[in-house]
Structure 1
Amino acid sequence: MERSAMKALLDWKNRADRKPLVLKGARQVGKTWLMKEFGRRYYENTVYFNFDEEEDLKSFFARTKDPKRLLDLLSLLHGEPIREGKTLLIFDEIQECPDALNSLKYFREQAGGVHIMAAGSLLGTYLAEPYSYPVGQVDILHLYPLTFREFLGAVDENVSKIYESLRPDEEIPELFHNRLLDAYRTYMIIGGMPECVSSWSAEKSPNRVGELQRDILALYENDFSKHNSRINAARVLMVYRSLISQLSRENEKFAYGLVKKGARGREFEEAVEWLVSSGIVHRMFNVTAPGYPLKSLEEASHFKLFLLDVGLLKTMGEVENEAILFDKPFAFKGAMTENFVLQQFLGTLPAAPHYFSPDSQHEIDFLLQHQGEIIPVEVKSGHMKQAASFRWYLEKYEPARAVRYSLRNYRKDGKFTNLPLYLAGRTEFL
């Protein structure tokens, strides 16, 4: 499968000011495969070390901080020289060796010509602690599950070609539109986790994909207990298991009371932070006003949580495939569609999406900061037209552009554009 992150890695390789690269992302999003595949394509050789599998490796980094000495030791262990610009040096599961994580700053300062990548399970939770890595001495790249665009490239070459042929301001033939809607519904079931996409591409067995999704969800729960010395695993688990009930409400603002009756934020805010840092959930903040920049108007206590992958969310919520394939209603269908759209936005937009809920009567699903504008976005899971909140926003704030994602075909009418849901990752259509 082709990952769009490969281009970002190539840009990193060719930069004159390149630093050691830390690849962040939740478990099972394909970090190890991406690093190895990048090394295979663009370097003469790849030297790969896994700190979880090679316990004795940690002693090298405990013994010395000298990058040149470390490179000599690593070359002897691997059996091949590590050459500047020719070798990609990979440190996987680097969170198992804090000394190795800290050594990245010395590689940056004293061996800048060596190309180094590092990744690890739940590494984001370690990097969230300021003392855990040298600020300013590493580059960081976020890896997410496959987008719909990447999914098409992996599972259906013909539909992928149709998708890539679409251009802004051009009518989408109804035949193409319907085929892409079918592919969208399939993606809502399969999701973008690489193992699930690979399985679907090879076997076309929804039952097998469901098994893999349940395994991944169980793996995440197991990770909570593994890190019980650093976090309150029970509280993390309670927040995690509340996601479906949180998203099933008409107002999807995260409510601590749904985690535990009578709960307060101070009891569970650390658990929320851990889940966000791990990459397992995405947090989207409300803003106090639709102004520029959105980041400056965030309301820290008013947010929503979404799961990293819509296919995992479908399985977590025990939604049957038929409900998606035949557009049947269910409690969090709208929120699940928002989860899909957010998943496509992440990694493709320069600024994080927000939402706008100024009172109990009005809510705008997304506000996007794009090319200096604030664009209101409405998301519909079906063919319905504008909601009252969206009409209110358009009348009150008179934005230069406004977008609705739905199952309806592409249509542009002055400032307003209706985009099919499957185009959420194509920001050139905004």
Structure 2
Amino acid sequence: MKRKIYDTMVRWKQESAGKTALLIDGARRVGKSYIAEEFARTQYRSYILIDFNRAGKEVRDLFEQNLNDLDSFFMYLSAIYGVTLYRNDSLIILDEIQLFPRARSAIKYLVADGRYHYLETGSLMSIRKNVADILIPSEERHLKMYPLDFEEFLWAMNETPLADLMKVCFDKKKEMGPALHRKAMTLFRKYLIVGGMPQAVSTYQETQDFEKTDAIKRAILDLYRQDIAKHAKGCKRKAEVVFDEIPEQLSRHEKKFVLSALGRGARFRDYESAFLWLEDAMICNVCYNSTAPDAGIRMNWDRTALKLYFGDTGLLISHAFDENGLVTQEIYKKLLLGKLEVNEGMIFENIVAQMLTASGHRLYFYSNSSRDDKNARMEIDFLITKRKVTDRHNVSAIEVKSGSRYTYSSLRKFMDRYREQLDVPYILHTADYSEKDGIAFLPVYWTWLL
């Protein structure tokens, strides 16, 4: 599948390979190993893929015993894998490197040697046990990989012209038009259901069968549960409880995570490690409350008030609508037609969080529950900042609307209260593009363009 990260990898090769190693971090099954090998095949004369899930003792011993003699190190490595290495034209891929942290610390010496280029891939990269007792090399360039965004999904569905048209309409502030808007919304609702995990997208592309796709997603969810049980040291049970509670929390009208649902007397400090573990594993996207929407948005955040979204919305649907281990065809039909009576709001908000994260935004929301001042009482789903900060008008407020009838009183109050700080306010909805009252109403499938 065509992935945007590939172009970033090519730029790395052109600009800093040989001076740095590239580390691709992402959730399990997000496509890291595939893109690494595809990059190696197309960009280098030869490559060696060291998969530390399979590498035997003889390979691991090279990193333990031969780093002081790199001539021998490369001679043995070339012989073990039967691959000839070419100076400045061979790539060595260290796959699943979190399973052997010693190889990660060796990057310092391998990059300094300068003969070849190095690409690392892994999950759970910042989990404590995966960095214990090693020196994290300063020569690493860290790149995060996410599930397919909507444009990548359109590429996979052979709908590249539609994606290109979206860019033009977004730039020109122009409607898509009734026929193309309906087509785009149908494809977007398929994206909601399938999600962006490459194996799920590939299965749907080949079969057009939601049930077969659901089986793939359910296997990934089981893998995540196994990872929690195996790797969430010190917070295993709490991480499991939080993981299973996410759909219920998102289905609430106010989507801030309510700790009391986890147990009587539950406190943030008791569960903070579980939230952080799920975020570090890139299983979830955490959205924090910002108490002051200005250019220094991160300096005004309340880390104890948060919303927790699934990293992939297709996985959320398989997790939330579980009936005897299978999401029913009736649920799929209602999602496709926009007729789901409940929970569609949480699905739309989750997909927006997913696409904003993939576009490089940190997630923040604004909430003020003042009992004394009704004009101050409001909640804004998301806040994003401009790429280039200026003296004022740096923050855009985003409201997500899944239905055709809605109000936006919170956004109006927010605009009145923070006029000097506010850039273009957006409402993401299921209709075509329009502008009214100083607000840009965008079709939700344009989120990836923000």
The one-letter code matched in structure 2 to 1:426 is L
CA deviation after TM superposition for structure 1 residue 369, in Å: 0.5
Contact 2:289–2:364, Cα closer than 8 Å, also in 1: yes
Q: Confirm or deny that 1:416 pairs with 2:420.
A: no
In the alignment, is residue 347 of structure 1 matched against residue 365 of structure 2?
no
The alignment's TM-score, normalised by the length of structure 2, stands at 0.89
Matches within 5 A, 1:22-421: 22-56=23-57, 57-66=59-68, 67-108=70-111, 110-126=112-128, 132-134=134-136, 136-157=138-159, 159-160=162-163, 162-163=165-166, 165-168=168-171, 169-227=173-231, 230-318=233-321, 320-349=331-360, 351-359=361-369, 361-370=377-386, 371-372=388-389, 373-398=394-419, 399-413=422-436, 415-421=438-444
Unaligned runs of 5+ in 1: none
Preserved contact between residue 23 and residue 143 of structure 1 (Cα < 8 Å): yes
CA distance in 2, matches of 1:192, 1:90: 24
Q: Contact 2:124–2:130 at 8 Å: present in 1 too? A: no
Task: Answer with 128-137 or 401-410: which moved more.
Answer: 128-137
1:117 & 1:178 partners in 2: Cα distance? Answer: 42
Structure 2: gaps spanning 5 or more residues = 322-326, 371-376
* Identity %, equivalent residues: 28
Aligned partners of 1:127 and 1:133 also within 8 Å: no
Q: Is the 8 A contact 1:155 1:200 kept in 2?
A: no
Q: Tell me the CA shift for residue 130 of structure 1.
A: 7.7
Residues 238-287 of structure 1 show CA distances to partners (whole Å, capped at 9, x for unaligned) of: 11111111111222112222223322223221111111100001111111
Q: Is the 8 A contact 1:126 1:132 kept in 2?
A: no
- Give a deviation string over 1:35-68, Cα, whole Å, max 9, x none: 0011111111221011111131211112133354
C-alpha distance in structure 2 between counterparts of 1:417 and 1:273, whole Å: 34
- Give the TM-score of the pair, scaled to structure 1: 0.93
Counterpart-to-counterpart distance in 2, 1:270 and 1:214: 25
Equivalences, count: 424
2:264 alignment partner, SS class: coil
* Separation in 1, partners of 2:437, 2:8: 35
Task: Quote how far apart the aligned CAs of 1:86 are.
Answer: 0.9
Shift of 1:76: 2.1
Given that 1:98 and 1:132 are in contact with CA atoms closer than 8 Å, whether structure 2 keeps it comes out as yes
Structure 1 pair 306–42 and aligned structure 2 pair: CA distance change class (3 A): same
| Mapped contact 1:45–1:86 kept (Cα < 8 A) | yes
Give, as a single letter, the amino acid of the residue that structure 2 aligns with 1:356.
Answer: Y
**Residue in structure 1 matched with residue 449 of structure 2 by the alignment:** 426
Contact 2:310 2:350 in 1 (8 A): yes
Q: CA 1:172 to 1:300, structure 2 compared with 1: closer, same or farther past 3 Å?
A: same
| Residues 2 and 156 in structure 2, CA contact (< 8 A), matched pair in contact too | yes
Equivalents in 1 of 2:198, 2:164: separation in Å? Answer: 21
Query: Residue deviations 1:278-318, cap 9 Å, x none?
Result: 00011111111111121111211111110010111111110
User: What is the alpha-carbon distance in structure 2 between the residues aligned to residue 413 and residue 79 of structure 1?
Assistant: 65
8 Å contact from structure 1 (residues 83, 114) kept in 2: yes
